[in-house]
Amino acid sequence: MKVQILGAHNLESQDTRCISLLVDDILAIDAGALTSSLSFPAQQKLKAVLLTHQHYDHTRDIPALGMNFFMHGSTIDVYSTAPVRDALLEHLLNDSLYPNFMEKPPEKPSIKFNELKPGRTETVAGYKVLAVSVNHAVPTVGYEVTAPDGKKLFYTADTGPGLDECWRQVSPDLLIIEVTALNKWAQFSLGSGHLTAGMLQKELESLRKLKGGLPQIVTVHMNPLDEPEIKKELNAVAAALHTEIKLGREGMIIEF
Ligand SMILES: [Zn+2]
Ligand SMILES: [Zn+2]
């Protein structure tokens, strides 16, 4: 499996992009940086987009992707839970802010929405995809993606602490997990459903206890304004756990 990080942050700038992952060039997870990171041919190569939740930094490129597929006369499959579809139709693809590409053009809509349910495994573009509920400010699922050769990625999406139930459902080779804020912002993180490095340590200790080991770990959704300090705090967690924790970056490719 080849996982490319197109967007690794929670703020956009010339140097940072909102969250998007790309699996084997054909399966995207979250749409924070799909159109800005991929050429038109690369966008047309996409077989499906999985969305974790409705927040703008994870769905923002869906209207632009819809327009690009409309102009190409093709259709992109988008998968998520029902609340995400409802939010897209109410706020973005509402024929006011932008056209409803789930119904346009009527003979062959540019976006085909497919509903996923937490706890259920579906086949998407040849991968087994399990949606797993996590703890965020709005209904959110992480995704365990299993390749035909059995290799597994688990991406937590945005989440606060308390992932024990989630860990019981997944067994990843590669864990992509969010760490948004500095340890001093723990209260803010708890309130908004995000993790600090200190919270990550507790979650990883639970995971190790449950599974007897840790997978490869990459963090995303960092606040770029605090990144040097977040890196220091993550290095301390890695040292305490005797493991390696990589900070995700735009353009990073992980093959396993
Ligand atoms: Zn969010
Ligand atoms: Zn986010």
- How far, in Å, are 16, 66, 73, 182, 220 from residue 92 at the CA level? 23, 11, 21, 32, 25
How many Cβ atoms from other residues are within 10 Å of residue 184's Cβ?
13
Reported as type and span, the H/E element at residue 23 is strand 20-23
Measured CA to CA, the distance from residue 86 to residue 68 in angstroms comes to 22
CA of 3 to the centre of ligand 2 (A): 19
Q: Are 93 and 85 in contact (CB under 8 A)?
A: no
CA of 85 to the centre of ligand 2 (A): 17
> What is the residue-level pLDDT of the chain in tens, covering all 256 positions?
999 999 999 999 999 999 999 999 999 999 999 999 999 999 999 999 999 999 999 999 999 999 999 999 999 999 999 999 999 999 999 999 999 999 999 999 999 999 999 999 999 999 999 999 999 999 999 999 999 999 999 999 999 999 999 999 999 999 999 999 999 999 999 999 999 999 999 999 999 999 999 999 999 999 999 999 999 999 999 999 999 999 999 999 999 9
Measured CA to CA, the distance from residue 46 to residue 50 in angstroms comes to 11
pLDDT of res. 71:
98
- The ligand placed nearest to the CA atom of residue 137 is 1
- The ligand placed nearest to the CA atom of residue 141 is 1
Q: Is 223 helix (H, G, I), strand (E, B) or coil?
A: coil
| Single-letter code of the amino acid located at 141 | V
pLDDT of res. 77:
98
Give alpha helix (H) positions in 101-255.
164-169, 186-192, 197-211, 227-241
pLDDT of res. 177:
98
- The ligand placed nearest to the CA atom of residue 55 is 1
- The ligand placed nearest to the CA atom of residue 180 is 2
CA of 73 to the centre of ligand 2 (A): 31
Measured CA to CA, the distance from residue 84 to residue 135 in angstroms comes to 16
How many Cβ atoms from other residues are within 10 Å of residue 251's Cβ?
11
pLDDT of res. 190:
95
The HSE-up count of residue 29 (CA atoms within 13 Å, CB side) is: 27
CA of 140 to the centre of ligand 1 (A): 8
Pairing outcome for strands 216-220 and 245-247: parallel
> pTM score > 0.95 for this model?
yes
Reported as type and span, the H/E element at residue 96 is none
- The ligand placed nearest to the CA atom of residue 58 is 2
CA of 71 to the centre of ligand 1 (A): 30
User: In 199-210, which positions are buried (b, 16+ CB within 10 angstroms) versus exposed (e)?
Assistant: bbbebbebbeee
CA of 108 to the centre of ligand 2 (A): 31
Handedness of CA 146, 254, 242, 143 (dihedral sign): negative
